[in-house]
Each structure stands twice: as structure tokens, then as C-alpha cells.
Amino acid sequence: MKIISEAKSHGGCQGVYSTTSEACGGDMTFAVFRPIVAKEQLCPVVWFLSGLTCTHANVMDKGEYRRMAAELGLIIVCPDTSPRGDHVPDEPDNWQFGKGAGFYLDATQAPWSRHYRMETHILDELPALVAAHFAADMGRQGVMGHSMGGHGALTFALKHPDRFKSCSAFAPIVQPSTADWSRPALEKYLGADESGWRRHDATLLIEDGARFPEFLVDQGTADGFLDAGLRPWLLEEACQKADIGLTLRMQEGYDHSYHFISTFMDDHLAWHAERLG
């Protein structure tokens, strides 16, 4: 692990680091905020998964999480959204696919399968580093995300309820297998057989029997992607059928931006802290 930068913030430390990822075939960057209490005791961890076109830096610079994380004693880990580098295949004119759009899955189709293995990177590689270097209590982990990252958070929680004790999302893509901006990506990463897509779709995971105690989802009513890409009512229907707790808050007048995320970030961190003890 290489330290790119570290700076004092709210008594704790906001750091940016890089590691050589075997899963992604190159160096990967991630950010970690440690509250001051992490100098004295292990702290619970909340993973923040960012959305399309983002890196670790978007939420770090605009998410406004450090004050509340410091108050609650939470470690916040912000991975990147895809592999990076000139050696990584890409569609540079397509913002919904390739670099910045890894969709938190392990690709099975060439040429993407060599590098686009974000699920393994986030669930296997990064936790080992976080546990070793950042005073993290890995028995108390939560996961949250925005948009594409909301999709990742929901699916990770549903597939690993033994690992994640809390889950929330801002404007998640709840059914990427049918959404206009994620369906093409799933086909390229995973192939034409849609049965292989089901484990990367929150609503279909629930339909297939996956369970999680409860979710918190905030969605802006002025979000331009609401009707075609996000469709939180599909998650609501799936959770109702499966008797999964869902707090879905439709926030009047809010869009898809970090102005929306930063407004409700404190609520989400408090939700995680309560469930992580």
C-alpha cells in the first residue's frame, strides 16, 4: 500500500492510498477517513460506493461526511469505480461503460474480464488492507452508495448479509438488468445470457431468495434519471413481497447531484452508526 496523501480533518485523518490489485490488473486508488478515536480503539467501517463517471475523490471532496463520521466514530472507505490506466480497455466516448463504470461486478467477457473485477477488489482485496492498516472492526461493516454505487451497495448487502450489518443508498439503480443506462453494460461485461445478470440486480436477488433486514433509500423527485434509470418503486415492490424493511424517502425537488447527497449524508451515517453499534 502506498500513501498518496494524508491530511488532518475533524481531529482524524483523511487519506488517499493506492495498492496493486491482482483482481484489476494494476494500481487502484482508494480513500479512507479515520476518526480520532481510531487511535484508541477499533471502529466500525462504512463503505461508500460512488456512481458512474466518479472516482474515490467525488464523495471525498463533495460528500461532506467527515464531521459526522468523526462524531460517530466511523471509518469511511471510498473505493474507485473501475480499473484505471492506459492498459485497461475502455469505450472513451461512452460514459456508461468502461472506465468510471465498473458496475461493481466481475466481468466474464473478453476483453473486460482481465481488469474489470471490481467485486473481487472491493470484497476481498481492500478489506484485507483496511483491516491491517486502519484500526477497523471488520465485524461491524456497513455499505452505502450513490446511483451505480447504490446498485453495488444493495447487491453486496443482499449477497453478504453475514458481512454487512447495514445498507443505505442515494438514488440507486435498483433494477440494472432492465434500466436503459445499465442493461448494455451488463451485456458487455457478462454476456448475452441474462441468467448470469440476476446476481447483480437487487430486485432479482430478492426475487431469488436473497434477504437483508432493512434498507434506507433517499431519492430526489427532480432527478432526471428517475423514471428510466432508477425506479425505486421496483425495489419497494420487491421488498414488500419479501417482507424486507425499506425506508424509502422521496425528497421533493432534489436532483441526482452531490448537493442532494451531502444534504442527507448525516442521516445515512447516523442510520449506519445505530445499526453498527
* Percent of the residues in the chain that have a pLDDT greater than 70, as a whole number: 100
Confidence of residue 120 (pLDDT cuts 50, 70, 90): very high
Structural domain containing residue 61? 2-276
Q: Does 147 qualify as catalytic in the annotation?
A: yes
Catalytic residue list contains 5: no
Whether the predicted model's global pTM rises above the 0.85 cut: yes
Location of C-alpha cell 480533518: 9
So what's the pLDDT on residue 30? 98
Q: Which residue is catalytic, options 21, 50, 82, 147?
A: 147
Sheet with 43-49, strands from edge to edge, namely 2-9, 12-21, 26-34, 75-79, 43-49, 136-146, 164-170, 214-220, 245-251
Q: What percent of the chain has pLDDT over 90?
A: 99
Question: Is the predicted pLDDT of residue 65 greater than 90, yes or no?
Answer: yes
Q: Grid coordinates in use for 24? A: 484489476
Catalytic residue among 90, 106, 223, 268: 223
| Mean of all residue pLDDT scores within the chain | 97
The total number of structural domains in the chain stands at 1
Q: What secondary structure, in 3-state letters, does the chain show?
A: CEEEEEEEECCEEEEEEEEEECCCCEEEEEEEEECHHHHCCCEEEEEEECCCCCCHHHHHHHCCCHHHHHHHCCEEEEECCCCCCCCCCCCCCCCCCECCECCCCECCCCCHHHCCEHHHHHHHHHHHHHHHHCCEEEEEEEEEEECHHHHHHHHHHHHCCCCEEEEEEECCCCCCCCCCCCHHHHHHHHCCCHHHHHHHCHHHHHHCCCCCCEEEEEEECCCCCHHHHHCHHHHHHHHHHHCCEEEEEEECCCCCCHHHHHHHHHHHHHHHHHHHC
145-182 pLDDT, tens digit per residue, is 999 999 999 999 999 999 999 999 999 999 999 998 89
Residue 181, pLDDT score: 84
Q: What is the CATH number of the domain that holds 216?
A: 3.40.50.1820
Find, among 4, 75, 10, the residue nearest to 43 by Cα: 75
- Report in angstroms the alpha-carbon separations of 64 from 30, 68, 200, 270: 17, 8, 29, 14
Q: How far apart are CA 209 and CA 34, in angstroms?
A: 36
Query: Annotated catalytic residue: which of 115, 256, 268, 272?
Result: 256
Average pLDDT over residues 79-87: 96
Active site (annotated) includes residue 256: yes
